[in-house]
Chains A and B, each alone.
Chain A
Amino acid sequence: MTLLAVRDLGVDFGGPPIVDGVSFSMKRGEIVALVGESGSGKSVASLALMGLLGRGNVTGSAILRLNDGRETDLARISSRERRGVLGRHVSMIFQDPLSSLDPIQTIGAQMREVLSLHCGLRGGKAQARAIELLHEVGIVDPQACLKLIPQRLSGGMRQRVLIAMAIAGEPELLLADEPTTALDVTVQAQVLRLLLSLRARSGMGMIFITHNLAVASSIADRVIVLYAGQVVEDAPADAFFAAPAMPYSKALLGAAPGIDSVFGARRLPILRGQVPAPGERGVGCRFAPRCDAMRPTPCQTQMPDLLNIADGENEVHAVRCGRWEELAR
């Protein structure tokens, strides 16, 4: 069952597109990692889905199928409708929990506001539900936690509180933008495990935005790689890590030293150049100027399509590379 179908999503701010024809779909309960370097468009794409861009032109569609069968297009939803969807059906957590929380209100006050807005709970019922939610995200002493201001909590606990607020409305889709990037590795592992267990319990789907492929591997069912505003590879996580098809994906994987593979090689493989700015893209493949496998034709002359190269039916392993077949051999 499809939860979200994004078709040809584009975002521009009056100039060349920052997000350019992004299409993907995800199933109910699926965790999709959106990965890419800075400037790849991953955060802009997700903010567009949430209607949080503020300005900018959004084109294309992003159809969200709700549990009750209703459909809503996140790309062209009115701000009034959005109020009914955000927090209840779709919610979001960010990298820095401290800047998402009000520093002078207690956790209790902030949670009660969320519960009143999204669930219509007030008074003792809101209090009880807040305690239940904090318990669910693994906070040992929820009662005490509710009385604290955010500053009194550790980074991991703050992120847990935000997750508790995000799941208060039992959303079908959670957008998580680098939610563990600011956390220490041991805390990161705890938060990732928490997200996995919440998914297992509630069947909530998740778009997990990260620049860290090892983190993506830890949590995701699918990996979608963005480069210069486009999807360049979209694959099941197992297939992606076993045999990435797009040269850019391979370069990204090679550039991040894993802790199992750091010895022997005394240098890291280098990907030269940088992501082209939106105004500096050529007509061909946007990765071509940096690609070791580049051939003048077709790479520089023609923008490759995003092709599905999966063997099985109903499977998706899409890649945007004019030479993927030769390179796979």
Chain B
Amino acid sequence: MTAPVLSVQGVSKTYTQRAGLFGRPSQTYALRDVSFDLRAGEILGLVGESGSGKTTVGRIAMRLIDPSEGKVYLAGQDVTALSSTALRPMRRRIQLIFQDPSASLNPRQTIRQILRTPLRLRGITDDTEIARMLAIIGMGADALDRTPAMFSGGQRQRLSIARALLMNPDIIVADEAVSALDVCVQAQVVNLLLDLRDQFGLSILFIGHDLGVVGLISDRIGVMFRGSLVEIAPSRGLFERPRHPYTARLLAAAPRQGGKLTPHAEVDAGRLSPTSTEGCAFAALCSHAITECRTTRPVMRETAPDHWTACRRADLDLRPAHC
């Protein structure tokens, strides 16, 4: 097996907080000991709720922020400690697509100017590649002299994908790249990303919160909860037989077409309690937690081929009820 295109090993990110001016500083974990590989040609989904750290993972993978602990490898090379100059040639290989294309495309530039920038960075002066790329994303040359405001949200997102691809990357980090789009447009962009993977062998880290979309596009999915990666598995295995109670809860909460909820007034537990530094991050909310869960941090273990979970309760059957 070849080396993974991207490997994140034991990455943590901590922020120091001080309670008041003279308070004692305390560490808050935004990420805690996260490890995973992105394999060549793979689409790896990352799901989790707000504050789970999925965006932080993407940023650390791109070295936009530095991890407090742990290592990031690009194609086997340790890039954790590279200076920004040394990082430059590596940057081309990993490109980011954001949620809101209208905020990431300069409104004053024409599409031609926007798409020339990556080529200029690569030292290419002619525009043939731009025309080819426009064809790939399903747009014509007439787009070139227009500004981003003249396109719909879906078209703009395709243009920002084109811009990323013109850097000729190996890896795309798509951070909620389809979340702001209408369902029909979202379907087009999802299909485009799948086509690009098939055509160019791209590897994609697909960060999202819609389980349906992430499930469709991803080969494997990592589930994050409060800074920890709690489960990572092939998509089908994860959906059909989740091994972590948090994954099961997330799947159960996802609304379904044709499904109905029953009235039931659940209480809001209020603000999140700070993540326990000792036990499992999910223990306080988990109905299966045993004493050990609250005292010792679980380690990732393989429960089925390629199916890893950070839950010590090997005896649980968390198969969703609807299956």
Point out residues on A near B: beta carbons under 8 Å. 37-38, 136, 138-141, 152-157, 160, 184-190, 192-194, 196-197, 199-200, 211-215, 217-219, 237, 241-242, 251-253, 255-260, 262-263, 265-271, 274
Contact = CB atoms under 8 A, between A and B. Distances in A.
A253 B265 contact: no
Contact of B266 (A37, A38, A190, A211): A190
B261 A37 contact: no
B269 interface: yes
A160 B194 CA distance: 39
Interface of B: 49-50, 152-154, 182-188, 190-191, 194, 209, 211-213, 215-216, 235-236, 239, 249-251, 253-272, 322-323
A181 to B, nearest CB: 10
A187 B50 CA distance: 11
Given A37-B182, A211-B182, A242-B258, A186 B268 contact: no
11 contacts: A139-B267, A140-B267, A154-B270, A157-B271, A185-B49, A189-B253, A197-B263, A199-B263, A214-B256, A256-B186, A259-B256
Nearest to A271: B184
Nearest to A194: B265
Contacts of A189: 253, 255, 261
Contacts of A274: 152, 154, 184-185
B183 A255 contact: yes
Nearest to A248: B184
B265 A184 contact: no
Contact of A213 (B209, B254, B257, B272): B257
A255 B255 contact: no
Given A185-B211, A259-B256, A274-B185, A265 B216 contact: yes
Given A37-B182, A256-B183, A259-B256, A219 B267 contact: no
A253 B212 CA distance: 12
A241 B257 CA distance: 7
Contact of B191 (A187, A253, A268): A268
Given A184-B209, A257-B215, A197 B259 contact: no
Most buried by A among B187, B255, B261: B255
A37 B182 CA distance: 6
B158 to A, nearest CB: 13
Contact of B216 (A140, A217, A218, A268): A268
Nearest to B260: A218
Given A157-B270, A263-B235, 19 more contacts: A37-B182, A139-B268, A139-B270, A154-B270, A155-B50, A156-B268, A193-B261, A193-B263, A193-B264, A193-B265, A194-B265, A215-B255, A255-B183, A255-B186, A256-B183, A260-B256, A263-B236, A268-B191, A274-B154
A252 B183 contact: yes
Contacts of B216: 257, 262, 265, 268
B142 to A, nearest CB: 17
A138 B269 CA distance: 9
A157 B268 contact: yes
Contact of A186 (B49, B152, B239): B49
A154 B152 contact: no
B254 A211 contact: no
Given A185-B209, A269-B187, A259 B254 contact: yes
A218 B257 CA distance: 8
A270 B268 contact: no
Most buried by A among B213, B257, B259, B271: B257
Nearest to B218: A262
Nearest to B152: A274
A101 to B, nearest CB: 16
A186 B49 CA distance: 8
Most buried by B among A197, A241, A258, A267: A258
A139 to B, nearest CB: 6
Top-4 shortest CB links A-B: A196-B263, A197-B263, A184-B49, A214-B255
Contacts of A211: 182-183
Contacts of A138: 265-268
Contacts of A199: 263
A152 B183 CA distance: 33
Nearest to A186: B253
Contacts of A154: 268, 270-272
Contacts of A192: 255, 261
A217 B256 CA distance: 7
Contacts of B153: 38
A53 to B, nearest CB: 23
B269 A217 contact: no
